[in-house]
Amino acid sequence: MAGRTFIVGSRGSRLALRQTEIVQEALRRLHPSAAFQVRTIKTAGDRTTASLNEIGGRGVFVIELERELLSGGIDIAVHSLKDLPSQETSGLTIAAVPPREDARDALFSRDARTLAGIPAGARVGTGSPRRAAQITALRPDLVVADIRGNVDTRLRKVEEGEYDAVVLAAAGLARLGWLHRAAQVFEAGEMLPAVGQGALAVQVREEDSEIRSLVSAADDAATRAAVTAERAFEKRLGGGCHAAIAAFGEREAGRLRLRGLVGAADGTLLRGETEGPAENAERLGVDLAERLLSEGASALLEAAV
């Protein structure tokens, strides 16, 4: 690896570049003789102002990066894990999931009001059916409105009065040094996070054993177990970009606690929880999904199509 420069692919937003910098810093600590060069790639999701539901869901933020990775244009791709569909792309693998940042959701509002303090009829922006369902469950008197754009854009739209508040990932604010601007950070019991929220995925070509070895040293076992369970939960449910699906895994002392949720636009929420050995993370996710399906999650998912 000495003397070789590895090309790292990243989206070009401020947050994406900061996330890529975090991964590079970790890899440099592990491999001081290796060099890394960032190549920014504009994805389909970056080139449109349409809603995620209209343009095909989360995968629009990763397709071009994955193509470049498969073709050899880049050696490593850094993603927000929640942007990656639960079905991995053939020929690629997530070689490392570094330690997770805060997985919770945060509220940014004018006048720094919490969700409880926002007046009835206020416009709360989110592009996520998951957040929309949970906001509606907490405050059915608010207007949940679709919003697009990176973190900077969303905050500006609130400051300019287009929205009264916006809900977004606490991790993004934290990585940009802006978490202090949040009026409220929701506990998981109030608003369950998205699958993989707060975690990064470092993706490589499956057949490239040298790069896999280099990157896998940055993997965090506790985060890997948690997101493995979350992604298995989502995959078994089979929900698309319209579905309100949430899951959050927490590993402690070899045990993994997994909470899951399926919701609907009217604020109907179906919740479940399970716990077991961390090494059974995937099975825990599948089992919890099957339990919720048996309790009526199918109807909620079908209504979201």
CA distance 300 to 270: 9
Tell me whether residue 83 is one of the annotated catalytic residues: yes
Instruction: Count how many residues are written for the chain.
Output: 305
- How far from 263 is each of 6, 62, 148, 193, CA to CA, in Å? 42, 25, 21, 13
Which residue is catalytic, options 46, 75, 83, 141? 83
Q: 135, 154 in Cβ contact below 8 A? A: no
DSSP the chain: -TT-EEEEEE-SSHHHHHHHHHHHHHHHHH-TT-EEEEEE---GGGG--S-HHHHTSGGGGTHHHHHHHHHTS-SEEEEEGGGS-SSPPTTEEEEE-PPP---SEEEEEGGG--GGGSPTT-EEE-S-HHHHHHHHHH-TTSEEE---S-HHHHHHHHHTTS-SEEEEEHHHHHHTT-GGG-SEE--TTTSPPPTTTT-EEEEEETT-HHHHHHHHTT--HHHHHHHHHHHHHHHHHT--TT-EEEEEEEEETTEEEEEEEEE-TTS-EEEEEEEEEGGGHHHHHHHHHHHHIIIIIHHHHHHT-
Residue with tokens 């991790």: 171
Nearest to 186 by CA among 244, 130, 268, 123: 130
List the catalytic residues: 83
